[in-house]
Every structure is written in C-alpha cells, then in structure tokens.
Structure 1
Amino acid sequence: MDMLMKGLARSIIPSDWSLIQKHSTEEVIWGYTDPVLERLKTFGQTDSTDFGFFMNQNDSKSFEIEAISGKKNVKETGKISSWNGQKDLSDVWFTPDAYTLQGSDSNSPMVPPLANASRLDIFVDLLCRSLYFERTEQSRVSKIKVDVYNVPLDELKKENNRGYWKKGLTNRDGMIDLSSCTKLTFGESAPLIASLPHFLYAAKNYGNLYNVRPSIEKHSSFIKVEPMTGIILEAAKRFQLNTFVSRNFHPGNPANNSIIPAFWLSQSFSAVDHPGLLTKLGQQIRWLVLVTNFPLALLVIAICGNLAAFFVGFKIHSQAGQPRRSQARSLKEIGQLDASSGETLERQNLTTIS
C-alpha cells in the first residue's frame, strides 16, 4: 500500500515541488498557476489549475445583504435579515447560536443613540459570521467625541466558538475555522483558518513558533462611533489567513497537522481623510445637542418664569397689605412742612388715616 501511495504521489507532485511556496503578494492574493493542480486536472480531480486566496473576488459581484428598515421598530434598524439570499447559515455552521444571522452590516450606521451601548454585534462577510465589539474607551476623531469598540478576548475563546468548527478539527483559542465559509466566499471549500494578525489572543505557543509580536493597538479590529448619530468615523478590519495542513498520507504530505500563516490584511477607514464630512457632522451634532436639550431648556425657562412670577406676586401682595401705613407716614411728613410754603393740612386727617 505504501508503495502504491508513493507512486501516486510521484505522479502528481513534481520532483522540484516544495510544501512551502514562494510567490509575490499579487500572486498569493489574486492567483497563480500551481503545478500540482495542473497534474490533478489531468486526473479529473479539479477544474482549476490556479490558486489564489481572492482569485475569484476581483471585479466580482459583492454579496447581497438585506437589512431591516426600522419602519416598525426603530431599534431594529440596520439589523441583517438575510445574507446572499439566505435567512440563516444553517448550511455553513453547526449550532443555532452560530448560524443565526445577528448584528448589523459593518458598512451601515449604528442605531443611535449609543450612549449606553456596551457592545455592538457586527456581521463580517469575510468570516460568514458575526463578531461582537466591546466598548473599551472614549476618544476623539479630530474634535468629535467617539466611543471605541474592540473585538474582546472572550469572543475568540474556543468555548464560545464550538458551533463554527468542523468535527475532527481541534478548536483553538483565537482561531476561526473557515473551511465551511469558503464554499460561499471562494466557491470551493478550502482548509483556511482565520485569526487576528500575529495570532493575537491565540495560544502563546504560536507566538513562540513563528516569532510574532501581537499588539492590541496594531492588530485588533476596532470601530469608533459618534454615539449621538451612530456614524462610524474610524474603523479597521484586521484578519490573518492561515492554511491548515493535515497529514493525510505520508508520501505526499510529510508535515504533521499544522497551521501555517499565509498573510494578514487590514481594511481601514478614517473620516479625518474627509475634512468636509467632519465639518458637516460637527454642525449636525451641535444641532442635535440643541434639539436634544431643547425640552430641558424649556423646562428651565418655565421654572424660572414661575419663580419670577411668584416673587413679583409676593412683592405686590406685600405692598398691597401695607398701604395705609405708608400713606400715613407720607401725610405726616407733609403735615410737618413749613407753613410759609403755603401748604397746610388738618391734624384730624392724620388721625383718621393712621
């Protein structure tokens, strides 16, 4: 049996072929002709002779996303109702928590206000699943206050990702099995495993093996949201793609089961690059603050008005209760005027008034 397998391996794998390939970034991403695939095609085992992680993605039609308009319930605005025509991903993942569509599209504004939102659920099409982002701090983009959300460590713990791993594969911290997802995204199932760049949040032995230096600041995915409007002002989507190499048979694959990093990608956006947008947003936020605080301002004005009316009324009431004493004092003063002035006053008038 071993001789048969060795002979088969020699007929498929060229003598100068190596398990670790060297190619340009363009070739790895958009595709290159692989000699092993060429041999396999002659045996009718594959239709393509090219390999590339995003080979069929360039100039291709993007996935269709249907989201709730919020007409019936504004709190549901932006939440995904179907992805690529599917109401759930039960043909991809393995538990209800995993295959239920959750969260909002990462390209849409969040539902405001977000002042008390400790987490955001975002659907990531590259991973065919949702990830939750946890609010970690407040910051500023230009002069605008924003809430910062990061993918937390707990989201990538293996106990929270059992529904995403195929049977027979070992679930690992910091790893996301994409072998089922690639049927939708690449057209064929491929042994790919995603992680954060430099194996952030993964087991420490990966860092020791590949001499990587994971950093939350440099390698975590994040979103910066203006909480009053829900508009994303900065965001970064960062993931690393790794290949899973399994020891199917010895002659053709001398390696043990291994996860080999291929490359990591970063997609980012910042409103700082669009100063006109920031200016308009700042103006809108000032109006929102005014409108939001308008009922409170009216209440303060009403209270101040009532207090002013009360004190004025109290003063008038006090003056109205003492007119005779005030008038008597005035008449007494008049009665004491010098007679030479020609002004006289009967004494009895003072007694009747006082």
Structure 2
Amino acid sequence: MAFEKTPVRAAVVGTGGIITGAHLTALRAHASRVRLVGAVDVDESRLADFLAEAGDGVSGYPGMTEMLAAEEPDLVLIGTPPSPHAEQARAALRSGAWVLCEKPLCLSLAEYDAIAAEEGPSVNGAGGDGGAGASSEPGGPDARGGPYASVVFQHRYGSGAVHARELLRSGGLGSPLVAHCQTTWHRDTEYYSVPWRGRWATEGGGPTMGHGIHQMDLLLHLLGEWSEIRAMAGRLVHDVESEDVSTALVRFENGAMATVVNSVLSPDEVSRIRIDCTDATVELTHLYGYGNDDWAYTPAPHARGLPERTSHWRTPAADVPSSHAAQLGCFLDAMEKGERPPGSGPDARRTLEFLAALYKSAFTAQPVHQGEITPQDPFYKAMHGEHPDWAPKEH
C-alpha cells in the first residue's frame, strides 16, 4: 500500500543538538517531499530556540500526546535521550505515524519486540501484529504497508558504503576473510556529568551501545549475518555503571572473522572498518562521517596489473556523504512505496542482538551464538543481564 500524501507531514520529538543540526538539515534537504509541522520538548527555552530556527509553520508542544492529537503527523523523528525512545516510538506508531529514531532505538531486545508489535495499520489505536518474526526484510513486500519504525544508522547510506556493499555481496572483491571494526573515541569526566549518561536505565550501555553501534552496524551491513561472538568489557577510567571499553572477536556465517574495539578512552580518535578479502582490502577511515575519499581499495598481489578486474573498485563518481539527509531520502522512498524502510525490522534487530550478545559474552566470559538470547534469557530484558558485577546496585 503506497503512501500517497505529499509532502509528508513531519514532527520532531526533542529539540537538542542532534535534531537542530542533523535532522533539521536533512528535512531542509528534502523540503519538496517533507514539511515540518510540529516540535516537542519539555524545555520551554530550548523549544522556543528551535522554533525560531525552524521558521514559520512549526508549532511547539510540551508533550507527544498533545502534538500527535493536534498535528496528526505522518512521520515522527525522535532525538531525545535513549530511555524514552521505546515508548515514544510506540506512541507514534499507534497514532499511525512512521518513525525515524536516533540510536539506540531502544535499550533491549524486549523493548525492540514491543515496538515491532505496534507496526502495521493502526485503527483507533490498535497496532499491527508485529514481533521479531512478523516483519519482512527492508524493501520487501509486506501486506501491512506501514507504519514502521526505523533507527538512524546514517553510515549505511553514503555512496562509499553502498558501493562497498555491492562489491562485497557480489563477490567483486573475492571472499571476505578478516575484518577490523574500530570506534576509539575520547570522552572526559565532564561528558559523563550529564545525568543520563553512563547509566543502564537511561543510556542502555557505554561505548558499545552509544558510540560503536554505528561502526558495528555498518560492519554487519557490509558482511551479513554473524554467527558467534566472544567479548570482554571493562571500566578502566570512568566511574559509570556501564563499560568504558569493550572488545570482541566475531565469526560470520560466511566464515570471515573480525575484531571489534569500542572505547571512549582514546586520545587519537578514529572510526575505522577494514575488510580483507581474497582479491583486495577495502578500508574506511573517518571519525563522525565520511565521503568517497575516505574509502580505499588495495588489490592483492595477484590482482595488481589487472585493470579489467580492479577498475570497478574505484569509488563512484557521485559523492554522497554519510548523513541523516541521505538516510531520510531512502526512508521517504520507502514511505512512498509503502515498503519497510532500511534500518528497521529484522535488519535493525540483528544489530541490537549483536550488542546484547557482546555484553552477554563479556559479562559471562562465554561465547554467544546468534539466536541464543531468547525471551527467557536475562540479557533479553536488559543489556547488563542482571549480572551481579554489572547490574545497577539498586537491583
């Protein structure tokens, strides 16, 4: 069922820096397709500043209930701190609005499946028949036709990543063998003075959940299904509930093996993905976003001097940087077709399951396999899994 309203009526929830910067810029980039009509924030001063920046035609509200009733938006963009994401996404879906939410979409697999249960036609507040297994893959047929909830994973949508994925999935670089995924950033004590940071109940985890999630999602997007993970985590510097560093060894279903590092302790900050294949190495090096020039292809010795083999490895002529605007364009395409958008359904759940498995392996010192974390598993309900060394002390 195609979505035929033009332009799409959009509202934002939360008017902090990520909405004012990235999302407002993305909305303006697609001004012919989407129109901002409402904004929600509990902080009156911050809301007023955003409305002044957003321009005419945008109404402000202190809460989602009032906004959804008054504006009846087609699309809700969520940019609040993590803990309310799940309920905000569910409320929007129940109203009939599609959802594009900042990472993480929610704080546990249990919350994710509760959101999925609200997807599909909403009539008088009744959601769809969602759940982890009920939704089709992105872009595929789905009789329900929306609304759907998608998470912001903007690094998937730059032209460099689109090109690399096509090469990897088609075998154009040979078979993937060895990969590295690195998010080594630096955050000081002042960063963690914000009350919701570093706490399981409000952030859901440390750099694994809040920082490295983007690179790990891109790694999975490029390489496909993972099968096994062995991990470690630690609190080496910061006085927080969650970790400030994590590492992992990962085996993929295609046989490739990867190392993963997530840190907020690294003065030399970098985000990097490297994948060694039988015919070439592809590497992305950046910090918070990339363009085509941040991707590099190195042929294996046997492939050098074979331009007919390697010429198509070059990054595409059109340079589309990774950005919220790039993802919003793909999301609007899916809305117009009535299709599940990328970064939603089983596709996005796989990334969250990967994070839950990393935490479980790190905290239990045991390997974890894909599909192992069922609703009976404590790591299904919370990333700390009620582990005595990691769960909040009030538990």
Q: Which has the higher contact order (CA 8 A, sep 6+)?
A: 2
Q: Whose radius of gyration is greater, 1 or 2?
A: 1
TM-score tier after normalising by the smaller chain length: under 0.3
State the TM-score, normalizing by the size of structure 2. Answer: 0.20
